[in-house]
């Protein structure tokens, strides 16, 4: 049997329900959220550091809100006043709910940016030989490093070629392999970290 008016407020009830769209009980759970972001590269700390568009950030935050019954189809987030308006769909009806949304953005520096600022490097790729190909190769190497979250910390131009200081020895080798460049590798002990020897690699590439 369907009730015509809401038992709580007396407005028109939803079909086959005893409540109107405003009074229909929906449980909404959301814990306070802290979002750490890097003030240099503007990435957010999720499982790993990630760049998020406004839409992606919103989707991520909506994902933290649990509603029952129904699903959140859209939301307006008001960071300043710590409030959110949720649009929830449930069995042919759409519900609008206002909630307190305690979110704090915390400025920090990500590992990549702090290493970069400190001039960190693990490997030196030395390009030697055909200088005409250097600009192209440099661009390629840089692009491939950045794509994987690594970076070039320094470039030194020398009479005999260029030295590219990179933040990852493992990735530097992978990149050279992928580019089909053969190299001579040497390593130098750089120091100890948690009892392990840390080496810096020099990868000497002869460009044909």
Residues that bind Zn ion (CB under 5 A): 6, 8-9, 11, 20, 23, 38, 40-41, 110, 113
Segments in 97-194 forming alpha helices (H): 111-117, 134-147, 169-178
Smallest gap, in angstroms, from Cβ of residue 44 to Zn ion?
10
Can you give the length of the chain in residues? 208
User: Is-contact 85 76, C-beta < 8 A?
Assistant: yes
Smallest gap, in angstroms, from Cβ of residue 146 to Zn ion?
12
In this structure, is the dihedral angle defined by the CA atoms of residues 77, 31, 106 and 120, taken in order, positive or negative?
negative
Smallest gap, in angstroms, from Cβ of residue 9 to Zn ion?
3
Q: In this complex, which beta carbon is closest to Zn ion, that of residue 27 or of residue 81? A: 27
Q: In this complex, which beta carbon is closest to Zn ion, that of residue 110 or of residue 137? A: 110
Smallest gap, in angstroms, from Cβ of residue 80 to Zn ion?
25
**Cα-based distances in Å from 129 to 17, 139, 186, 208:** 79, 17, 18, 6
**Cα-based distances in Å from 165 to 23, 50, 78, 132, 206:** 63, 24, 43, 20, 17
Q: In this complex, which beta carbon is closest to Zn ion, that of residue 142 or of residue 163? A: 142
Q: In this complex, which beta carbon is closest to Zn ion, that of residue 20 or of residue 52? A: 20
């Amino acid at each position: 049997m369907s009730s015509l008016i809401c038992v709580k407020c007396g407005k028109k009830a939803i079909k086959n329900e005893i409540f109107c769209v405003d009074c229909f009980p929906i449980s909404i759970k959301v814990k306070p959220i802290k979002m750490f972001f890097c003030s240099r590269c503007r990435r957010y700390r999720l499982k790993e550091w990630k760049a998020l568009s406004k839409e992606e950030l919103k989707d991520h935050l909506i994902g933290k809100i649990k509603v029952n019954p129904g699903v959140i189809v859209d939301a307006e987030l008001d960071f300043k006043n710590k409030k959110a308006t949720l649009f929830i769909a449930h069995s042919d009806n759409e519900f609008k709910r206002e909630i307190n949304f305690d979110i704090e953005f915390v400025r920090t520096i990500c590992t990549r940016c702090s290493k970069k600022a400190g001039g960190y490097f693990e490997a030196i790729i030395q390009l030697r030989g055909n200088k005409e190909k250097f600009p192209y190769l440099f661009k390629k190497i840089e692009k491939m490093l950045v794509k994987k979250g690594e970076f070039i910390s320094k470039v030194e131009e020398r009479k005999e070629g260029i030295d590219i200081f990179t933040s990852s020895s493992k990735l530097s080798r992978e990149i050279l392999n992928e580019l089909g460049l053969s190299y001579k590798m040497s390593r130098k002990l750089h120091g100890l970290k948690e009892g392990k020897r840390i080496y810096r690699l020099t990868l000497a590439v002869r460009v044909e």
